[in-house]
Structure formats: structure tokens, C-alpha cells
């Protein structure tokens, strides 16, 4: 593999250092990614829109800034793609929906504006299911995105194009969205790192979940980074987190630093088994093997979880989720699933009680580790719909909705969760683990991911990303 090809799967932090040190120019790095998109993207269909002229002009400008010795932003000169559910000014942004096939926003979403202000160069958009509404990534406009580890399988959803692009080295990093695991599931299925930040710390204006959308924040939903190292996640969180533009004058976000720095001082609770949501036996064994290694390295392990009724809380999550996403339904379904405002208020009170339970429980634990989904990436299955599909787990057909149970209970409580790759199955499919920390302790989730990385090793690209 050439030096240039190797650069493409470096972490964003290392790429930024290389540009600062003039080891590579932004134009050269852009050419590396564009060449890889041309070569690798046809097999996975992750990148669906490109702005070559805009990207090249921005790369030239970035190199001129570097040559002048001007101050450089933390993402200076880094080319990136963005999930197609997020508005990028001057670039086709569809939300995966035919209704927005020709939608070109006039302005960037606040998150995109922050990336550009930090020096990033937006090259294009990555595929997402219609209105970000599936565990798979396909739509009528751009077709199906494949998992780069096995193209017969899904990359996850809804940020499937984003995670596949990161895994294959088609971009420096990505920004996805997550309302029911849409950053976490693709990170798990594609073998990369993903962060679901605490609810509310990253503005989600510019989120395309219906025609005319993007002007308000969706309940439960967050924007979060997908990358090739925990350090990348922290770098990107620092760039995108903060008050929405209209609140900046009076609000300031200051996420606390981690309260621990090594495994020896870490109290880790383990929650792998839930009768209503059984895990693939091989994935379960990999999760347990990870915990055993952490214990051997000095972590204090406790088989424990908050005193909550998993299925009851998942039911509340589903009620609030369907209310939140009902804006993307047609009129008949919206009436059936949207629910009343009174019922939402009742459920919001139940959620507030859940958050208090988590906060009290975390007084005795630093971290909870749990699965992402019941299985590794599953085969493409576009028959039927979310309610009628099933997933094969240990030879048994189980409800498709089981795939969002672990993500839903965590996201419903608004907690930060970092997905870290922990190994591969006998079929060479990557698997990940959720690292959950208290509300606003996002940096602790990332720090724990670093400690896990130090034990297990870091990101490994799929074979197709290393082929000559």
C-alpha cells in the first residue's frame, strides 16, 4: 500500500498534525480521498454527492493560509463528508427523501459552520435512509449502501454512509445524527468510533427529517462525530459542542474534564443480559472477553445496572420516538402515531424520573458498558417495514425493533455514549460496545474509550480499504 493510501486511514488528529507540519498539503490530502472515493465508493455507495470545485478551491485557500504562517484552526485543511440528513449551504442535501431531491440549502447548519470555522473542507454528502428512519441505509434517490466488511450486509443506519466512509478512508471524519442509535449502530457495524453526545450539547438545527425541517431541534436526537480514534471524537466534540447560535450571547458550555485517568481508578458496571433482548452468542462472548481484559488491567468490574424496568423504559422511548419522528410520516400515519401533547408531557415526566434514577445510580459507578445491538451487521433486508421485519439471533427470528432497544434506553435518558470497536467475529465482522457515562460527562466516555483502545488496540480498516 502506498504512503498516500496509508494516510487515508490515519486518525483526523494525525492528519491535522501532518498538515500543520507541512508533511502533506490540503490539496494533496484532498486528492488522496477523491482517488479513493473513485476507486472504492462504487462497491459500498457511501458518498452520494460531491462538490469538487468547491472542495478544490477551499483546499487551495487552506494551503495559502498555511504558507502565510497564519493561525490555523484545529481542523485546518481536513476534507470531510457529511451525512445527507444535515444541511450544507450550497450543496445538495436531501435527507434521503425524494421530496428534497433538488434541495440546496442557502446556509450551513450551525454544526457545519463550526466545522468550516475550524478549517474543515466539506467535500460531499454520505447516504442515509429516507428521513433517517431505518437501521439500514438505502433510499429511492441513491440506492443502497453496503457494509465495507461484507457488502452483502448493512452498514447500519441511519448514519450508514458516514460510518462506511470513515471505515474505508474516504473522509477525514464524519458527522452523523442519532435518535435511536443512528451514530452508534453504524459505528458498531463498521468497526469505527462514534459518539452520541449528551442531549442538547450540540445544536441540531439543519436536521432534515421532513420537508421544511431543520428550524427546530428534534426530541431525543443528537448530532455526533464518527471517526477513527477516540482523540478524533474529542477534537470534534470541542469544535461542534456549544449553545445554538441564538443563545450564544448568554449561554456557555463547559463540559467537565474526566475525573479519572487510568483503569485502576475506574468503576465499571456491566449490563449485557436482558431476557427480552438476547444477544448473539459470539458477540456476547466478545463483550465478556473485553470486560475480562479490563479487569485484568485493574478496572473494578461490577455486574450491575440502574434499578429500571428495561422493557417499560423502552416502551416510553418508543412512544416519544414515534412522536418525535411523526413529522416525517404521511397524514394518516402521523395521526395514528404522533400521539397527543398531553401524552408526551406524561412521558416526559416519566423520562425525568428515569434521568434522576440514572444520576443517583452513577454516584456509585463511573461507567456502564453494554451492547449496541443484539448482533453484528446483518444481511440486507428491504422487504416489509420496520414493524414487520425480523432479525436472526442465534437461529431465532426476533423483532427488528430489538436492534434499537439498547440504544433507545440510553438515548431516551439523554446520556452520552461512546461506541468503541472491540473485535471481530469468526465471520470477520467488527463489533463494538457502548460506553455510557453520566449526563454531561461526555469527556469521560471518550477517556474510557481511550483506555479500552490501549488494551484492545485501535481502529483496523476493512480489507477492501487496504487493497492495492
What is the model's pLDDT at position 331? 84
Report the pLDDT averaged over residues 230-239: 98
| Assigned CATH topology for domain 263-456 | Amidase signature (AS) enzymes (3.90.1300)
- Sequence ranges of the chain with CATH classification 3.90.1300.10: 3-256, 263-456
CA–CA separation, 378 vs 154, rounded Å? 6
Whether the per-residue pLDDT at 4 is higher than 70: the answer is no
What is the model's pLDDT at position 333? 86
Q: Residue 335's pLDDT band (boundaries 50, 70, 90)?
A: confident
Whether the per-residue pLDDT at 79 is higher than 50: the answer is yes
CA–CA separation, 440 vs 271, rounded Å? 21
Q: Residue 334's pLDDT band (boundaries 50, 70, 90)?
A: confident
Apex CA 94: angle with CA 92 and CA 100, to 5°?
100
Report the pLDDT averaged over residues 72-94: 98
Q: Are 268 and 294 in contact (CB under 8 A)?
A: yes
CA–CA separation, 314 vs 316, rounded Å? 5
> What are the beta bridge partners of residue 267?
300
Whether the per-residue pLDDT at 436 is higher than 60: the answer is yes
What are 289-300's pLDDT values in tens digits? 999 999 999 999
Q: Residue 468's pLDDT band (boundaries 50, 70, 90)?
A: low
Whether the per-residue pLDDT at 305 is higher than 70: the answer is yes
CA–CA separation, 54 vs 47, rounded Å? 16
Q: What are phi and psi of 108, to 5 degrees?
A: -75, 145
How high does pLDDT run on average in the chain? 96
Percent of the chain with pLDDT over 70: 99
User: What sign results for the dihedral spanned by CA atoms 343, 345, 87, 73?
Assistant: negative
CA–CA separation, 35 vs 69, rounded Å? 29
What are 382-433's pLDDT values in tens digits? 999 999 999 999 999 999 999 999 999 999 999 999 999 999 999 999 999 9
Q: Residue 66's pLDDT band (boundaries 50, 70, 90)?
A: very high
HSE-up of residue 425 (Cα within 13 Å, Cβ side): 19
The class that CATH gives domain 3-256 is: alpha beta
Report the pLDDT averaged over residues 96-117: 98
Report the pLDDT averaged over residues 237-245: 97
Q: Residue 5's pLDDT band (boundaries 50, 70, 90)?
A: low
Whether the per-residue pLDDT at 2 is higher than 90: the answer is no
Q: What are phi and psi of 364, to 5 degrees?
A: -110, 0
Q: Which residues are catalytic?
A: 83, 158, 182
What are 194-221's pLDDT values in tens digits? 999 999 999 999 999 999 999 999 999 9
What are 115-131's pLDDT values in tens digits? 999 999 999 999 999 99
List b or e across 422-458, with b for residues whose CB sees 16 or more CB atoms inside 10 angstroms: bbbbeeebbbbbbbbbbbbbbbbbbbbbbbbbeebeb
Amino acid at each position: 500500500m502506498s504512503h498516500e493510501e496509508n494516510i487515508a486511514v490515519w486518525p483526523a488528529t494525525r492528519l491535522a498534525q501532518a498538515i500543520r507540519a507541512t508533511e502533506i498539503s490540503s490539496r494533496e490530502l484532498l486528492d488522496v480521498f477523491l482517488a479513493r472515493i473513485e476507486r472504492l465508493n462504487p462497491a459500498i455507495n457511501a458518498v452520494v454527492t460531491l462538490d469538487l470545485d468547491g472542495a478544490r478551491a477551499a483546499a487551495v485557500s487552506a494551503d495559502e493560509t498555511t504558507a502565510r504562517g497564519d493561525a490555523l484552526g484545529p481542523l485546518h485543511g481536513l476534507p470531510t463528508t457529511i451525512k445527507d440528513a444535515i444541511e450544507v449551504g450550497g450543496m445538495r442535501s436531501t435527507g434521503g427523501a425524494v421530496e428534497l431531491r433538488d434541495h440546496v440549502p442557502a446556509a450551513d447548519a450551525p454544526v457545519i459552520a463550526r466545522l468550516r470555522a475550524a478549517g474543515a473542507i466539506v467535500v460531499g454528502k454520505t447516504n442515509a435512509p429516507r428521513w433517517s428512519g431505518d437501521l439500514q441505509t438505502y433510499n429511492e434517490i441513491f440506492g443502497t449502501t453496503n457494509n465495507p466488511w461484507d457488502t452483502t450486509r448493512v452498514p447500519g443506519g441511519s448514519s450508514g454512509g458516514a460510518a462506511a466512509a470513515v471505515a474505508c478512508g474516504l473522509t477525514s471524519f464524519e458527522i452523523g445524527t442519532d435518535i435511536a442509535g443512528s451514530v452508534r449502530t453504524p459505528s458498531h457495524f463498521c468497526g469505527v468510533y462514534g459518539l452520541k453526545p449528551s442531549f442538547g450539547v450540540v445544536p441540531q438545527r439543519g436536521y432534515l427529517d421532513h420537508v421544511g425541517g431543520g428550524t427546530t431541534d428534534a426530541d431525543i436526537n443528537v448530532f455526533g462525530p464518527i471517526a477513527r480514534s477516540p482523540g478524533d471524537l474529542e477534537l470534534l466534540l470541542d469544535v461542534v459542542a456549544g449553545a445554538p447560535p441564538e443563545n450564544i450571547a448568554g449561554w456557555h458550555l463547559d463540559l467537565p474534564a474526566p475525573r479519572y485517568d487510568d483503569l485502576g481508578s475506574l468503576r465499571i458496571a456491566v449490563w449485557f443480559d436482558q431476557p427480552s433482548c438476547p444477544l448473539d452468542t459470539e458477540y456476547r462472548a466478545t463483550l465478556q472477553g473485553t470486560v475480562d481484559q479490563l479487569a485484568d488491567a485493574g478496572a473494578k468490574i461490577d455486574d450491575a445496572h440502574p434499578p429500571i424496568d428495561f422493557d417499560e423504559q423502552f416502551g416510553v422511548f418508543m412512544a416519544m420516538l414515534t412522536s418525535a419522528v411523526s413529522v416525517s410520516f404521511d397524514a394518516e400515519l402521523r395521526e395514528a402515531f404522533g400521539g397527543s401533547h398531553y401524552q408526551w408531557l406524561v412521558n416526559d415526566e416519566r423520562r425525568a424520573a428515569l434521568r434522576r434514577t440514572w444520576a443517583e445510580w452513577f454516584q456509585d459507578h463511573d461507567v456502564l458498558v453494554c451492547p449496541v445491538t443484539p448482533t453484528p451487521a446483518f444481511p440486507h433486508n428491504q422487504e416489509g417495514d420496520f414493524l414487520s421485519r425480523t432479525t436472526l439471533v442465534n437461529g431465532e427470528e426476533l423483532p427488528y425493533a430489538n436492534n434499537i432497544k439498547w440504544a433507545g434506553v440510553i438515548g431516551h435518558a439523554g446520556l452520552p455514549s461512546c461506541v468503541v470497536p472491540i473485535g471481530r467475529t469468526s465471520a470477520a465482522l467488527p463489533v463494538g460496545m457502548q460506553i455510557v457515562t453520566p449526563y454531561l460527562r461526555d469527556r469521560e466516555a471518550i477517556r474510557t474509550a481511550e483506555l479500552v483502545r490501549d488494551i484492545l488496540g485501535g481502529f483496523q480498516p476493512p480489507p477492501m480499504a487496504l487493497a492495492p
